[in-house]
Amino acid sequence: MSLGQRLALLAIRLQEPQRVASFQRLCGVEVPLGSPAAGEDAETEVRGAPGDPRRRARQPGSEDSPSPVKPDCCGAPNGVRNGLAAEPGPTGPRRAGSLRRNSLTGEEGEQFKVSNLPLYYLFCFGTELGNELFYILFFPFWIWNLDPFVGRRLVIIWVLVMYLGQCTKDIIRWPRPASPPVIKLEVFYNSEYSMPSTHAMSGTAIPIAMILLTYGRWQYPLIYGLILIPCWSSLVCLSRVYMGMHSILDVIAGFLYTILIFIIFYPLVDLIDNFNQTYKYAPLIIIGLHLILGIFSFTLDTWSTSRGDTAEILGSGAGIACGSHTAYNLGLSLDPSLHTLPLAIPPLTVTLFGKAILRVVLGMTLVLFVRDIMKKITIPLACKLFSIPCHDIRQARQHMEVELPYRYITYGMVGFSITFLIPYIFSFIGIS
C-alpha cells in the first residue's frame, strides 16, 4: 500500500462519526436510558462503521437501510434526529444535560447525560473560546486595557483566518458528524458545514498570534507562551469533538490550515495595520474590500449561520480598522514609541485594577447598546428597502438582502465604537 493510500485510509478513519461517539462516551457523555435515541445509538453500534466486519448487510429498500442525509427545513446538512429532543430517562447519579435551542432556526438540542461534570464544564468553556461572547469581551479588553497595538493585529489575523475558514467550509461542503451515533450537545452551528473546524482555527490562531505579537514587545518568559499555545489550542479542538460538532479530521485540518495561513500571511500583518492607520483613503478601501469579500462568499446552496457569521466577521474587522484610522488621525492612539521596548509589565495596583474594571463595564455597556440600537434600525430598514415581510424577524434575517447589511453595518459600528468612540469617551472622562 502506497503512502498516499495509507493517508487516505487514515483520513477516512479520522472522519468516522463512531470515533466522535467513542470519545464522547470516554468522557462520560451518553443518551439517557429509556429514550428513543438510546435505542438508535445501540443499533448503530451493532451495525458498526463502514468496513467493519460486524456490520450487517442491507438490501436497498429494506427496513433498516439508511436513508440519505437530507437538509432540514433551515438547510442543515446533517442527520440530527429531526431536531427533536429525546425523552428524558432515568438519570441515576448522573446529571442530565439541559436542552439548548438555536434562536435563529428554532432547532432544539438533544437530551444527554454526563457522568464527568468537570470535563463537561471544561469543554463547555473550551467551546466558548470560539463563540461571539468570547470575541466581544476578548478583543475590546486587549484594546482598552492591555495593548491597542497588539489588539488591532489580533483582529486582523482573526478576520483573515475565520474568513478563509468559513469560505473553505462552504466550498468543501462536508456534513457534520451523523447523529446517531454522535450526541449533539450543541446545535447553534449545526446548520453549517463541518470541514475545517473554524473553532479549531480560531483556537489555534489567537494564542499563536498573541505570543508572536507580544514576545519581544513585553518582558515575560517565553516558556509561558509555549505552555499557553498547546493548552488553548487542544482545549478548543477537543471541545468540538466532545460537543459532537466536528470529526477528529475536521479539527486536525483546522489546526494545519491555520499554520499554513500564518506562514503565508503573518509577514503582511504589520503592513496591513500601518495601511489601515496611515493611508488617507484607507476607510473607503477597507469598507469596499470587506463588502466585496462578503458578497462573493455568499454563494451557499441553502441558508446557514455561516453566512451571517461571515458578514459579522467582516463587519467587525472593517469597523475596527476604520476606528483605528480615525483614532490615529485624531491623536488618540497611545502606542508607545519603539525606543521604549520591550515594555515592562506594570505592578497591579488598586487604581490600575479599578480603572480597568471601570473601562470594561462602561465600554461593554456602550458596545451592547450600540449593537442593540443598530439591530433595531437595520433589520426593519433592510426589510422595507427590499420589500421583505418583517413580522417574523427570524425568517427575515435569513434573507441575504437583510442579513448582509444588518450584520455588516451593526458589527461595523460595534468595531468602530471599540477602537474610536469608546476610547474617546475614556479620554474625555479621564480613564484612558
How far apart, in whole angstroms, are the C-alpha atoms of residue 320 and residue 328?
Answer: 12
**Catalytic machinery residues:** 199, 246
